[in-house]
Amino acid sequence: MDTTFTDREITILEVIGEYGQPLGAWNLAELLINKGINVGTSTVGRTLNRLEKKGFLTKKQSNRGRTITEKGRAFLSDYRQEMQLKPLNKRLRDMLNTRVLEKYLMVLEARKVLERAIVRLAATQITAEEIAQLTRNVHERENRHRQSKSHADLDIAFHTTIAKACRNQVLSLLYQTIATLGQQSELFQALRQRVGAPYLTSHREILEALKINDPDRAEECIVEHIDMLIGDVKRYWDTYFS
């Protein structure tokens, strides 16, 4: 989606698409007035030229004006879909960054459903290179823990590598959305500092299950890992936010 378009340009493209016949600057300006948009014909003309250069409108044919192209219709379809998804994306973002315990736990339960499917697929699809990457991640994570250094970035990287290893782009994107929007956040960092050792063990156990390509064991490990998170969130929530 090209985000450089103005609302006026979108409206002009929609009007031309709805009209169904070639439109020139004069007629288009009158139609825009009916929509409460008062803009001069010279401005409309410049906008038409820009949309034509983008490939969204046909070239001007004498005095017949322009019509919308298939590329223009595809753009409008994507734009409308994006507008429909925008409020849903906001609601999801609010859920993922919530400071309400019940909602936070809902997100962790959703993660459990998502990641158990991811890790089962990853156990049969993961490559030697990805195993090596996870191994380096676990070693570095343990080193930072011993030095009392933050390893939140390594936690995200560990789960993201597994998500990519599942070879399902939809599942991978869903996980990355959750991770990016806050579920591997400062609360988890506080939990790691308080009860860090079990989390280190659980990552190593997940890795070992993936090494032997055992989807059942890998799923069992990820469920135990997230259940541990859920338990600790419940236990320390009030302490963290007090």
Question: How far is 12 from 19, CA to CA, in rounded Å?
Answer: 11
Position 238 scores a pLDDT of: 73
> Per-residue pLDDT tens for 106-154?
888 989 999 999 999 999 999 999 999 999 999 998 898 788 787 778 8
Domains and CATH numbers, the chain: 7-85 (1.10.10.10), 97-241 (1.20.120.530)
Put simply, whether the predicted model's pTM sits higher than 0.85 gets the answer: no
Please, which residues have CB within 8 angstroms of residue 6's CB and are 6 or more apart in sequence? none
pLDDT of residue 172: 93
pLDDT at residue 1 in the model: 47
Rounded CA-CA distance 114/87 in Å is: 22
Q: What is the CA radius of gyration of the chain?
A: 26
- Per-residue pLDDT tens digits of the chain, which is 242 residues long: 455 678 888 999 999 999 888 888 898 998 888 888 888 889 898 999 999 999 999 988 767 789 999 999 999 998 888 888 778 777 777 766 666 778 888 888 989 999 999 999 999 999 999 999 999 999 998 898 788 787 778 888 999 999 999 999 999 988 988 876 655 556 666 665 665 445 668 999 999 999 999 999 999 999 999 998 888 888 877 776 65
The predicted pLDDT at position 125 comes to 96
> End-to-end distance of the chain based on CA atoms, in angstroms?
42
The span from the CA of 119 to the CA of 172, in Å, is 11
Q: What are phi and psi of 23, to 5 degrees?
A: -125, 135
CB atoms closer than 10 angstroms to residue 72: 22
What per-residue confidence (pLDDT) applies to 201? 87
Taking the C-alpha atoms of residue 119 and residue 198, their distance in angstroms, rounded to an integer, is: 19
SS3 9: helix
